[in-house]
Structure 1
């Protein structure tokens, strides 16, 4: 459970960095003004993003095996962008706060690339610590 919370916090950090770098990817805090409430929304989005990547993404990847072969794995970027867009749709429609992604082509793809790179770097730094918890 502790490892899941640490990974969710790292996903939240990756999402936050993506909102700073990528135009068209941003958080919708609604009418929340408190810093703690905004942090809660970021963590909520990170948990939803983790659940989407843990439940739906493996199914999509299995169905897309022929596309992985044909595109030499580049379809993985598109699948990550679709998972980001799905997270934005879920958080907006269920919680009415969360992540906003303007379009699937540029914003979601660049956002997915940034999240993947930041998540990879964070996992490199935390790999031994998370496994030992």
Structure 2
């Protein structure tokens, strides 16, 4: 249970970093800080679920392109996962929005880097 909570906090902080850094990634509709935190946690959970279940399938299908581009296609698939997260979050009324493909790609890079940093800082549980 503790590992799940740490994973959820790491994803929420990573998504929060992308929202803070890019004007094209927004979290509208959250008036108070508590609403923003709850929205970030839910969006982080959605992003984690999508990257856990959908991304492996997409990466498998894109494997020839990943090999051909020496791994650069992974940035594209990560950006697509962030766009999918935006669509899913919008259906749940969370008002998390990503404005375009390149914003999604750069946002996914920031989320990946922030996730690595947060996971390095937070304690590892078994």
Q: TM-score, normalised by structure 2?
A: 0.92
Aligned residue runs from structure 1 range 1-133, under 5 A = 1-28=1-28, 30=29, 32-93=30-91, 95-104=92-101, 106-126=102-122, 129-132=123-126
Separation in structure 2 between the aligned mates of residue 97 and residue 75 of structure 1, nearest angstrom: 29
Alpha-carbon offset, residue 79 of structure 1: 0.6
- Aligned alpha-carbon RMSD (Å): 1.3
| Length, aligned pairs only | 126
Q: TM-score, normalised by structure 1?
A: 0.88
- In structure 2, the gaps of 5 or more residues are none
Alpha-carbon offset, residue 120 of structure 1: 1.3
| 1:72 counterpart SS class | coil
Alpha-carbon offset, residue 8 of structure 1: 1.3
- In structure 1, the gaps of 5 or more residues are none
CA contact under 8 A between 2:25 and 2:103: conserved in structure 1? yes
Question: Deviating runs (4+, > 6 A) in structure 1?
Answer: none
